[in-house]
Amino acid sequence: MKILIFIFRIIVSFTFIFSGFVKLVDPLGSSYKFQEYFSSDVLNLEFLIPYALPFSIILILAELMLGVMLLLGYLPKFTVWSLFFMILVFLFLTWYSAYYNKVLDCGCFGDALKLTPWATFYKNIVLLIFILLLLFTTKYIHPLMHRNFAKWTTFLSFIAFLYITYHVLVHLPIIDFRPYAIGENIPDGMKATGSELPPIHDFYLESNEGVNVTEDILKEDKMMLIVAYNLDNSDRHGFSKIKNVTDEAMKKGFKVYALSASLQDDFLDIKDEFNLNFEMLFCDETTLKTIIRANPGIVTLKKGTVTGKWNWIDADKVFGDQELK
């Protein structure tokens, strides 16, 4: 019995640690998913949308810490009861997504692992069974080592997770699971295999005149894209750094465009204010959020292959990379 409970403990703890970690490296991605859940056509909780990011951070940290605590055997009753209530929430959300066909990807494992809504729901059913078994056998959950070791490891893990959260929000995800990661070729990602949608199926760039310029952009040998999915929500003072790096890019032979889902007039205001020397192309907002977790962000391409990505705050590092000089 003790061995079986230990196996369940390991499975549950590693599942929560893995699930939390792949979201920890990209908390903005989780916040976008919560915004989708809170939208009017899903849970109709739009008043919560402004709090999607802090909500996602709290949930990610809770997932990770409970997984670590279960693994270490620290505060077992509190940990298992907390996991029980958390899995009930996940179970409801995944059932709702699957039954009503509302959110086709719940984001349970971030962008690292995609499951269908029903597969995710059944996965949570299995986890619920394991957690229920642990709930009635907490007496068998002992610290792997000394209790003080479990306590201090838990504390230090929390500090480490907080630092990672800060780092990826200020810069970019430390691991990029999306099809626009550095080294990925966008045209290749747009090719369908069998009956499934290709990894990239909504990359479409349109000029102010309504002309599709996607193919032309992806053919360029030196292309720099300034991605700002929503100019009203962008870090406006970041455009002073954008101005410096784009001027330098043009001197080095790069073609430069802004990509946004905002109105052309909104861009013209920023263009005039910061004396920007490039034009804007329209692109879908969800696509832009997928390309880079920054607003604004900088992406460089070489014949459609992503060669670099930076948050605006790191704009001065762009030409520190030898291959871009």
Domains of the chain, first to last: 2-170 (no CATH), 186-324 (3.40.30.10)
Which residues, in sequence order, are CB contacts of 211 under 8 Å at separation 6+? none
Largest CA distance in the chain: 71
Read off the pLDDT of each residue in 142-164 and give the average, rounded to a whole number.
91
The whole-number pLDDT of residue 147 equals 85
Read off the pLDDT of each residue in 149-156 and give the average, rounded to a whole number.
93
Is residue 258 pLDDT above 50, yes or no?
yes
Is residue 12 pLDDT above 80, yes or no?
yes
The whole-number pLDDT of residue 311 equals 96
Is residue 42 pLDDT above 50, yes or no?
yes
Per the DSSP assignment, residues forming a β-bridge with 212 are 206
Is residue 321 pLDDT above 80, yes or no?
no
Q: Tally Cβ neighbours within 10 Å of residue 282.
A: 19
The whole-number pLDDT of residue 179 equals 93
CA distance 114 to 234: 29
- Taking CA atoms, 176 is separated from 37, 301, 309, in Å, by 23, 16, 11
DSSP string, 101-131: T--S---TTTTT----HHHHHHHHHHHHHHH
- pLDDT tens-digit map of 190-199: 987 776 788 8
- Whether the pTM exceeds 0.75: the reply is yes
Is residue 75 pLDDT above 60, yes or no?
yes
Top pLDDT among 212 and 144 is at: 212
The whole-number pLDDT of residue 106 equals 62
The whole-number pLDDT of residue 45 equals 87
DSSP element (H, E) containing 95: helix 76-100
pLDDT category at 118 given cuts 50, 70, 90 is: confident
List strand residue ranges (DSSP E) for the chain, in order.
223-227, 255-260, 279-282, 297-302, 305-311
Is residue 263 pLDDT above 50, yes or no?
yes
Is residue 230 pLDDT above 80, yes or no?
yes
What does the buried/exposed string (b/e) look like for 66-102 if buried means 16 or more CB atoms within 10 Å of the residue's CB?
Answer: bbbbbbbbbbbeebbbbbeebbeebbebbbbbbeeeb
Is residue 132 pLDDT above 50, yes or no?
yes
The whole-number pLDDT of residue 60 equals 95
The whole-number pLDDT of residue 2 equals 81
Burial class of residue 194 (count of CB atoms within 10 Å of its CB; 0-12, 13-18, 19+) = exposed
DSSP state of 198: P
* Mean pLDDT value across the chain: 91
Percent of the chain scoring above 70 in pLDDT: 96
Is residue 247 pLDDT above 60, yes or no?
yes
The whole-number pLDDT of residue 120 equals 87
The whole-number pLDDT of residue 116 equals 80
The whole-number pLDDT of residue 320 equals 75
Read off the pLDDT of each residue in 289-317 and give the average, rounded to a whole number.
95
Under DSSP, is residue 154 helix (H, G, I), strand (E, B) or coil?
helix
The whole-number pLDDT of residue 317 equals 92
